[in-house]
Amino acid sequence: MPLNDTLLNIGANAMAAAATHLSLATSNPEPSGANQATSARVAASWPGAATGDLTITNKAFTGGAANGPVTHVCFWSAVSGGTFYGSVALTGDTTFNSAGEYTITSLTVNGSST
């Protein structure tokens, strides 16, 4: 029998409590959180987990390089410094706009380690 949603939600909410901030990277940041864009970190503000998933929408970043690359979103424990918890490669539009802005329209973390 697979794990039920109640247990998966406990795990997802624990991850949300740890990974409180997001940043953008200009190339693969693994394994240390390197290659960070010049945009500031933003608060993740995760909603409660549902069916073991965490989903955020419309996370806006400013201060990036105009028309520069955005390849990954990174998970951190703090607004600066802190613990790097990993990243997810972005798909679709992977470029800051001409004003150095980038918005993640939707991101779901499902607890997979791959």
- Extents of the domains making up the chain: 5-109
In order of 31, 88, 99, 108, the CA distances from 85 in angstroms are 9, 10, 29, 16
Question: CA-to-CA distance for 7 and 65, rounded, in angstroms?
Answer: 41
Looking at per-residue pLDDT, the higher value among 62 and 50 belongs to 62
| Residue 23: alpha-carbon gap to chain centroid | 6
Cβ distance 40 to 80 under 8 Å?
Answer: no
Q: Tens digits of per-residue pLDDT, 16-30?
A: 999 999 999 999 999
Q: Tens digits of per-residue pLDDT, 1-57?
A: 578 889 999 999 999 999 999 999 999 999 999 999 999 999 999 999 998 899 999
Pairing of strands 72-76, 54-61: unpaired
Number of alpha carbons in the 13 Å side-chain half-sphere of residue 24: 28
Cβ distance 61 to 31 under 8 Å?
Answer: no
